[in-house]
């Protein structure tokens, strides 16, 4: 296992870290390990924005939707008054 020393850590950040560690019932050192693991967990499998949107909404796609042929000229939308 590696050892990491963090210098010049703001006192307010250290105090917040202490509070979060206590809230989770962990030492500050363990809290930092968990924060780093969570922050870096998804970086190995980064996908583009469009791919993530597609994955999120793929299950909502209507399989029975028919797309009409593009034989008509586009027309302006009509809104009721």
Structure confidence at residue 43 (pLDDT): 65
Question: How many residues are listed for the chain in this entry?
Answer: 81
pLDDT values of the chain reduced to their tens digit, one per residue, 81 residues: 889 999 999 999 999 999 999 999 999 999 999 999 988 886 666 678 888 888 888 887 777 777 778 888 888 999 988
Structure confidence at residue 54 (pLDDT): 85
Structure confidence at residue 44 (pLDDT): 62
Structure confidence at residue 12 (pLDDT): 96
Among 24, 46, 45, residue whose Cα is nearest residue 35: 24
Structure confidence at residue 26 (pLDDT): 94
Cβ atoms of residues 20 and 31 within 8 Å: yes
> From the CB of residue 31, how many other CB atoms can be counted at a distance below 10 Å?
19
| Residue 46 backbone dihedrals phi, psi, to 5 degrees | -90, 130
């Amino acid at each position: 296992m590696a050892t990491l020393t963090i210098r010049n850590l703001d006192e307010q950040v250290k105090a917040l870290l202490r509070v979060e560690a206590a809230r989770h019932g962990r030492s500050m050192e363990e809290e930092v390990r968990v924060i780093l693991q969570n922050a870096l967990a998804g970086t190995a499998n980064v996908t583009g924005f469009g791919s993530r949107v597609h994955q999120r909404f793929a299950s909502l796609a209507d399989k029975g939707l028919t797309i009409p042929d593009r034989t008509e000229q586009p027309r302006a939308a009509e809104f009721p008054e």
